[in-house]
């Protein structure tokens, strides 16, 4: 299977890809919950799963903010250059 066929397969099965990625994110959070803790340096070190959830929330917020900024700053009207 070459790359083009793989990409086409993933585009055709988008729900499967989304479920697999959600499962991977959940597995990361569950893994972080059961990870042994050492000496806590920050307040989040004491809370199981905190840094995984923090990273996920920050990533989603960063994507949303940048998408909003790009639409307001970069996109121009159709007749902008006329």
DSSP 9-74: HHHHTHHHHHHHHHHHHHHHHHHHHTSPP-S--SGGGGSTTHHHHHHHHHHHHHHHHHHHHHHHHT
Note the pLDDT of residue 1: 65
Prediction pTM value: 0.60
The count of structural domains within the chain is: 1
User: Could you read off the pLDDT of 4-18 as tens digits, one per residue?
Assistant: 998 899 899 999 999
How much of the chain, in percent, has pLDDT values that exceed 90?
A: 23
Tokens coding 62 = 């960063």
Please state the rounded mean pLDDT for residues 44-65.
87
How much of the chain, in percent, has pLDDT values that exceed 70?
A: 98
Query: Is 14 part of a structural domain of the chain?
Result: yes
Domain that holds residue 59: 3-73
Query: Is 31 part of a structural domain of the chain?
Result: yes
Give the Å distances, CA to CA, from 56 to 21, 33, 46, 48, 69: 12, 15, 18, 14, 20
């Amino acid at each position: 299977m070459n790359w083009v066929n793989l990409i086409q397969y993933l585009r055709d099965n988008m729900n499967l890809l989304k479920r697999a990625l959600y499962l991977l994110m959940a597995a990361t959070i569950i893994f972080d919950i059961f990870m042994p803790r050492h000496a806590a340096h920050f307040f989040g070190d004491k809370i199981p799963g905190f840094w995984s959830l923090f990273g996920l929330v920050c990533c989603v917020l960063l994507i949303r903010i940048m998408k909003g900024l790009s639409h307001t700053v970069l996109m121009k009207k159709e007749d902008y250059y006329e």
